[in-house]
Amino acid sequence: MSNSAGTSDFARQQAEFQRGILDGDDTVLAEIFDSPRERRETLFGVYRYAYGSRLVDAMRNDHELLHLYLGDEMFDEMGYAYVKAHPSEHPNLRWFSQGLPDFLKLNEPYSHHPVLSDLAALEKALNDAFDAVEAPVVELSAMTGFAPEAWPDLEFVAHASASRLDLATNASAIWLALKNEETPPDADVMEQPARLLIWRQDTTPMFRELPTEEAMMWDEAANGVPFSVLCEMLATYDDPDGAAARGAGYLHGWITSGLLAGVSVGT
Amino acid sequence: MNVASKLPGSSATTLADRPMQSAKPPFLGFGLGLRHQHYDEILDGNPDIDWFEVISENYMIPGGRPLRTLDRICERYPVVMHGVSLSIASTAPPNFEYLQGLKDLAGRVEPKWISDHLCWTGVHGKNLHDLLPIPYTSEALDHVVSRVQLVQDFLGRAIVLENVSTYVQFNNSEMTEWEFLSELSRRSGCWLLFDINNVYVSAFNHGYDPMTFLNGIPADRVVQFHMAGHSHMGTHIIDTHDHPVCEDVWDLYVAALKRFGRVSTMIERDDNIPPLDELLEEVRRTREIADKVLPATGRQAG
């Protein structure tokens, strides 16, 4: 059955119902009954209330420490503003709050407090590591299979759960304090960004702050740059004589942390 | 106000109907909805649960602990998949990316069946993450039948659809909810998940007798019961699934057993998740009542 606009009644009714929830439009009320005990406005209100409340709950779940940091009232105010600005477009609630770091970075009043966006970005990265795709993990023993002359050409594949994040604020210190149920330090913008590496070790999401030199090596290694070139870069950054040893040291740390999914001799 | 039946005799069946012929899913016994709060207790212990129902979307993710845990659960228990985002009654185009994700998960889980709800969750690219009601019209029925056929063809199996709790009724409905569900099942071949709490909630909210609903559902199409709790607001009930099953719903369970026979039954708690033991007590009660109402012979309808 179609109306004069060529839209089926069913489709028109669903669009109106959705507008009633998302925009507070009351048109759909003309097509629903009062119940024996309650007015239709109240009954339809159950759907209106459930919509925002369910999505904000999902955000509380994904951003437990941001919630703790802001408190119920401020978090919910922020949550409803996000819900309004970013209606869910994915069938899985898992992905609903993915845009939160950018939202906090770009929208007032949150943009005046960059630590909020950083904290959300760190939680997002940890969530993403938690359920990232499975990949084999390179064991230290695998490295003994490479002859010394092959080492310069070794190329590395980062584990699928690994990601990098540069934070302008001390959000990672705040995250740690909140996680340990301690009073967080005052929010502060740092002189140098904190270079974080986030990944999943077995089933547990982890992060640690990298020295600038290691962060540079990781970023290039993750792009497929071979070991000899990585060492040349390290040599320009610090003591050239110790560059290969430093490179091997970082590599050892990555492997024992389960950060690499592949090592091979490049062509 | 209750919606009067205006369903025309048998003329609702169209030439396009292709009910999927599939063997009736097996009786699994008395189960529980799997929740992450209980992962360790289930894997470390050996709780007396016949089967688990998992929320499909919770595992439609790339990897990590949830999927690894699910694999271990599947090694030990029969599992059925229960989704919340199929949006089978939506007038939006079908979401094939979602369907492929569901099919991939089914390939991993090998569930005894795949269920979702008779509802829609959004149109025009939006998802409201709620189980939204539909008008019970012949237009809606034709639409949902065709969608069920499409989904069943895609998944290569008959699906199971659940009645949802509703808070509003549309004034253009032409039939009752139970007539709609019956016709949908007959025309598409889908099976029915009879949520006893939802029947109770909707009956209270719309002022009809839950027994009328129960007696209006064909006995041979029901393959699963849900038992859950709700929040009573005085003038209406909200289906929060965050309380123990109430006594009225236990009474309705007895009536459902008498009508539908031995049906796979589970306790579904979605929020305010209590310790596992508390839910196991409810699972035990579903079993004890069934044994009392349907002694010895193990009668199964259909």
Average pLDDT (A252-266) is 95
Average pLDDT (A244-261) is 96
Residue numbers in A near B125 (CB within 8 A): 89
Of A40, A92, A132, the CB nearest to B168: A40
Whether pLDDT at B288 is above 80: yes
Say whether both A127 and A210 belong to one domain.
yes
State whether residue A180 sits within 8 Å of chain B by CB.
Answer: no
Whether pLDDT at B297 is above 60: no
The tally of domains found in chain A comes to 2
Say whether both A87 and A124 belong to one domain.
no
Residue numbers in B near A46 (CB within 8 A): 167, 236, 238
Q: Is residue A184 part of a domain?
A: yes
Number of A–B residue contacts, CB under 8 Å: 146
Q: Is residue A15 part of a domain?
A: yes
pLDDT at A7: 64
Q: Is residue A161 part of a domain?
A: yes
Whether A94 sits inside 8 A of B235 (CB atoms) is: no
pLDDT at B4: 44
Say whether both A235 and A137 belong to one domain.
yes
| Other beta carbons within 10 Å of A248 | 14
pLDDT in tens, A63-112: 999 999 999 999 999 999 999 999 999 999 999 999 999 999 999 999 99
Q: Is residue A22 part of a domain?
A: yes
Q: Is residue A103 part of a domain?
A: no
Say whether both A117 and A153 belong to one domain.
yes
Chain A, 40 to 69: residues with Cβ < 8 Å from chain B are: 40, 42-44, 46-47, 50-51, 54-55, 58
Say whether both A91 and A118 belong to one domain.
no
Write phi, then psi, for B129 (nearest 5 degrees): 50, 40
- Residue B31's closest CA among B269, B231, B247, B302? B269
Q: Is residue A70 part of a domain?
A: yes
Lowest mean pLDDT among A245-254, B84-93, B237-246: B237-246
Q: Which of B85, B123, B129, B202 is the best mutation test for A, with the most CBs of A within 10 A?
A: B129
Domain of residue A166 covers: 113-267
The CATH number of whichever domain residue A152 belongs to comes to 3.90.930.50
Say whether both A152 and A261 belong to one domain.
yes
Whether pLDDT at B155 is above 70: yes
Q: Is residue A185 part of a domain?
A: yes
Closest-CA residue of B relative to A200 is B64
Average pLDDT (B294-301) is 60
3-state SS string for chain B: CCCCCCCCCCCCCCCCCCCCCCCCCCCCCEEEECCHHHHHHHHHCCCCCCCEEEEHHHHCCCCCHHHHHHHHHHHHCCEEEECCCCCCCCCCCCCHHHHHHHHHHHHHHCCCCEEEECCECCCCCCCCCCCECCCCCHHHHHHHHHHHHHHHHHHCCCCEEECCCCCCCECCCCCCHHHHHHHHHHHHCCEEEEEHHHHHHHHHHHCCCHHHHHHHCCHHHEEEEEECCCEECCCCEECCCCCCCCHHHHHHHHHHHHHHECCEEEECCCCCCCCHHHHHHHHHHHHHHHHHHCCCCCCECC
Radius of gyration of chain A from its Cα atoms, rounded to whole angstroms: 25
Closest-CA residue of B relative to A88 is B127
Residue numbers in A near B130 (CB within 8 A): 21, 47, 50-51, 54
Say whether both A167 and A201 belong to one domain.
yes
Q: Is residue A235 part of a domain?
A: yes
Say whether both A256 and A207 belong to one domain.
yes
Asked if residues B265 and B197 have their Cβ atoms less than 8 Å apart, the reply is no
Whether pLDDT at B223 is above 60: yes
Say whether both A133 and A42 belong to one domain.
no
pLDDT in tens, B251-273: 999 999 999 999 999 999 988 89
Whether pLDDT at A140 is above 90: yes
Say whether both A89 and A128 belong to one domain.
no
Q: What CA–CA distance (Å, rounded) separates A127 from A248?
A: 30
